[in-house]
Chains A and B, each alone.
Chain A
Amino acid sequence: MDEFYGGGVYEEENFEFPLFKLVREKAEELDISYHDALVLVKPDYVRSCRYGDEEFEQKSIDEFEEISKQTMANWEAFMKEREGK
């Protein structure tokens, strides 16, 4: 049982959102609120998100649609099995 006491049976990594890290650092640097820091750092972060890159977006969506098709196929097989019981 010891492994359940802090042994990492279930442990999420200590994660910090990259955007919030920027916010926190800016707020500490300028001694301003997180809200005001967000207003300062967000525009650059937005620019790094490839908004408007239609080719990239379409590729990402196509990849997801493939997953969705497989998911639906799996579901139909599951329901068929349920109906057979």
Chain B
Amino acid sequence: MITKPNAQDVKVYECDFLVVGGGDAGCSAAIKAAEEGVKTIILEKANAARSGHSGMGMDHVMDFPREGVSYLDYVKFFMGRHELLGGPGALMNPNVGYILGAKSWWALDHMNKWGYPMRWEDTDDYHWVRNGWFGKKIMIGVHWLDVKPVMAKKCKEVGVEILNRTMMVDLLTDKNGKVCGATGFNVRTGEFCIVKAKAVMVSTCNLTRNYTSETPMHWKYKMRYHGHPGSVSGDGFNACYKVGAGLCNLDLATNWNYRIRDDITIPFGSIDHGDGIRGQWMNAKGEAIPFPTAKMYDEIEKAGLDPIYCTIEHFNDVYQKRNEICIADERFVSLYLGAQRGFNPKTHRYELMENRRFGYYGLSGVYTDENFKTDVEGLYCGGDTVLGLGGCGSACISGIIVGDQMKEYCATAPEPEIDMNHVQDVIDEVYAPLYEEDGTEPMEMESSIRYINDRYVGMHISEGKLKEGLLRLGSLGKHFMPHLMAKTPHDLMRCIEVRNIYDGSILHFKACMERKESRGNFLRNDYPERNPENDNHISVCRLVDGKDTIELMRAPELKPEYLEEGK
């Protein structure tokens, strides 16, 4: 039986550096900081030994500029890969892309030193694979089935304290608005805690669970979210937003937009862009078509040639075997499920459904500078939480960069001062569902939110649909959200998650309404043309004086010193 605690009685942890989310970025940041003597704690909702993007494995790590690829080339790639789907122009901070390239080799040294298996055992060398967008061998193929246990073990070796099964409820700020810790909640015992810290890094992936869970793209295996399901309820997005950080491009949403009809999705992982041979798309008549953007899909639909399919039947036998290796490295469970069901990737055609958004990955995220510092003092972000970042490679690099700054930052940062009245308010809200009888199940609420996102945004966006969707969300917020009910700590976790999912959805709708144009895969029926004035602008949601604001912010220029250094 769990009961609501009093703020004065809850356990208080103290550290210099708090990492929220123990995935690739979180573990890497924590190890780096702790190695330099910074007292570090990780808050991890699951278990750091198997959580996060690489929790089930990984088959490639990107990117390490080489083969004549300069850092400036890499910045173009970093920006450009989102342009096809988000429309032309800079949609993020190019300086972040620069630093990811420029610090990648330095970060790789750390990953090697810490025992991350970067080299293949046979050759004791890196296995370089092509980045499909770039066409150059700048990604490292890895056998990372068991990388997370290695990361978690290293954390412990260097003295990082990991609070497993403890999710962040929200971030704490002092009287000057500086982030000074977080509240946490043990999802198994129901115990509440406060973690005081001089600096906090949030690396809790992104938000995806406001849309119906679908395998986001054919190369993402049997994984119905891009990221770990527990990680994509937008906990970090919402917490950062509430303390004043900017949440970006929630209208454009993610960059991989197809839904796949198949329940069994055993596709072709990094082989798709890593080994130089991609899947083949085809229309309903079996005629080969290029990888279709939303506009192309629209034309196919109008011509009556949908549904469209993807296949790997053109892979030769060796590439089929390489495909198996990729699956075994990144989602061994997929190989197991496929084997159980007699599924044959050589003959199967993956049906791609409507092209629309399903979450916020890469193209969306919290705005940071190239040191991964947000606009809020004391608050950093890492990994997929950051605008522009996607994947475990950039997650590790961003984490190491943040961890590297902590010794100096914490030496001069003020001691954290916690507002206990605020903590009591948080406790009251967290435990309220325990006292609700015959209320709303959190998963019932989550399903309703997903339905509204699916139904009222969709592939073709319009003002009328968005307004109706917002009304329906408002109805949920007014009549059902206050009556979420829970009986166990696990239920309470779901209640916290669904609040984050709900808040993210509201911002998504509002951001979509503000963007009165079509660009990339963002198709508005009522504004079918692109507004060139919006090129090179980032849409930023920010909480100002308790109100949601959305503005288009001009993307920063690449710093002159990087232009010079990066040639």
Report the Cα distance A45→B336, complex, angstroms: 17
Q: Which range holds the interface residue count of chain A?
A: 35 or more
Chain B, Cβ-Cβ closest to A82: B299
**Residues A53-80 near B (CB distance < 8 A):** 56-57, 60-61, 64, 67-68, 70-72, 74-75, 78-79
Residues from chain B with a CB closer than 8 A to the CB of A39 are 145
Report the Cα distance A6→B65, complex, angstroms: 54
Please determine whether B299 and A15 come into contact, CB atoms closer than 8 angstroms.
no
Answer whether A47 and B288 are a contact pair too, CB < 8 Å, given A13-B344, A15-B344, A61-B277. Answer: no
Please determine whether B289 and A75 come into contact, CB atoms closer than 8 angstroms.
yes
Please determine whether A47 and B290 come into contact, CB atoms closer than 8 angstroms.
no
Please determine whether A15 and B290 come into contact, CB atoms closer than 8 angstroms.
no
Nearest CB of B to A51, in Å: 6
Chain B, Cβ-Cβ closest to A53: B318
Question: Does residue B331 face the partner (Cβ distance < 8 Å to A)?
Answer: no
Please determine whether B338 and A17 come into contact, CB atoms closer than 8 angstroms.
yes
Please determine whether A12 and B122 come into contact, CB atoms closer than 8 angstroms.
no
Residues from chain B with a CB closer than 8 A to the CB of A78 are 289, 299, 303
Question: Does residue B53 face the partner (Cβ distance < 8 Å to A)?
Answer: no
| The residue from A21, A45, A70, A79 contacting B321, defined by CB atoms under 8 A apart | A45
Please determine whether A12 and B318 come into contact, CB atoms closer than 8 angstroms.
no
Chain A, Cβ-Cβ closest to B343: A15
Residues from chain A with a CB closer than 8 A to the CB of B143 are 42, 46
**Residues B116-171 near A (CB distance < 8 A):** 120-123, 127, 143, 145
| The residue from A20, A35, A57 contacting B339, defined by CB atoms under 8 A apart | A20
Please determine whether B347 and A56 come into contact, CB atoms closer than 8 angstroms.
no
**Residues B314-358 near A (CB distance < 8 A):** 314, 316, 318-319, 321-322, 324-325, 328, 332, 335-336, 338-339, 342-348
Count of B residues near A, CB < 8 Å?
41
Please determine whether B145 and A38 come into contact, CB atoms closer than 8 angstroms.
yes
Question: Does residue B39 face the partner (Cβ distance < 8 Å to A)?
Answer: no
**Residues B185-226 near A (CB distance < 8 A):** none
Please determine whether B314 and A67 come into contact, CB atoms closer than 8 angstroms.
yes
Please determine whether A19 and B122 come into contact, CB atoms closer than 8 angstroms.
no
Nearest CB of A to B209, in Å: 27
Residues from chain A with a CB closer than 8 A to the CB of B342 are 12-16
Answer whether A34 and B288 are a contact pair too, CB < 8 Å, given A19-B324, A42-B328, A46-B325. Answer: no
Please determine whether A12 and B325 come into contact, CB atoms closer than 8 angstroms.
no
Question: Does residue B440 face the partner (Cβ distance < 8 Å to A)?
Answer: no
Chain A, Cβ-Cβ closest to B125: A52
Please determine whether B336 and A49 come into contact, CB atoms closer than 8 angstroms.
no
**Residues B242-299 near A (CB distance < 8 A):** 275-278, 280, 287-290, 296, 299
Report the Cα distance A82→B296, complex, angstroms: 11
Please determine whether B339 and A17 come into contact, CB atoms closer than 8 angstroms.
yes
Q: Which of A52, A57, A64, A70 has the most CB of B within 10 A?
A: A64
Please determine whether A64 and B325 come into contact, CB atoms closer than 8 angstroms.
no
Residues from chain B with a CB closer than 8 A to the CB of A61 are 276-277
Answer whether A20 and B336 are a contact pair too, CB < 8 Å, given A12-B342, A47-B122, A67-B288. Answer: yes
Residues from chain B with a CB closer than 8 A to the CB of A21 are 339
| The residue from B123, B303, B325 contacting A19, defined by CB atoms under 8 A apart | B325
Please determine whether A71 and B290 come into contact, CB atoms closer than 8 angstroms.
yes
Chain B, Cβ-Cβ closest to A19: B324
Nearest CB of B to A65, in Å: 9
Please determine whether B347 and A13 come into contact, CB atoms closer than 8 angstroms.
yes
Nearest CB of B to A9, in Å: 15
Report the Cα distance A42→B121, complex, angstroms: 11
Please determine whether A64 and B322 come into contact, CB atoms closer than 8 angstroms.
no
Please determine whether B288 and A74 come into contact, CB atoms closer than 8 angstroms.
yes
Residues from chain A with a CB closer than 8 A to the CB of B324 are 17-20, 45
Please determine whether B276 and A60 come into contact, CB atoms closer than 8 angstroms.
yes
Nearest CB of B to A73, in Å: 10
Please determine whether A46 and B122 come into contact, CB atoms closer than 8 angstroms.
yes
Chain A, Cβ-Cβ closest to B127: A51
Report the Cα distance A16→B338, complex, angstroms: 8
Q: In the complex, given contacts A17-B338, A50-B318, A74-B287, what are 14 additional A-B residue pairs having Cβ atoms less than 8 angstroms apart? A: A13-B342, A13-B347, A15-B342, A35-B145, A45-B325, A46-B325, A49-B318, A51-B127, A56-B318, A64-B277, A68-B290, A74-B288, A74-B289, A82-B302
List 29 interface pairs A-B (beta carbons < 8 Å), by A numbering.
A15-B344, A17-B338, A17-B339, A17-B345, A18-B321, A19-B324, A21-B339, A35-B145, A38-B332, A39-B145, A42-B143, A42-B328, A43-B121, A47-B122, A49-B318, A49-B322, A51-B127, A51-B322, A60-B276, A60-B319, A64-B278, A64-B314, A67-B288, A71-B290, A74-B288, A78-B289, A78-B303, A79-B299, A82-B299
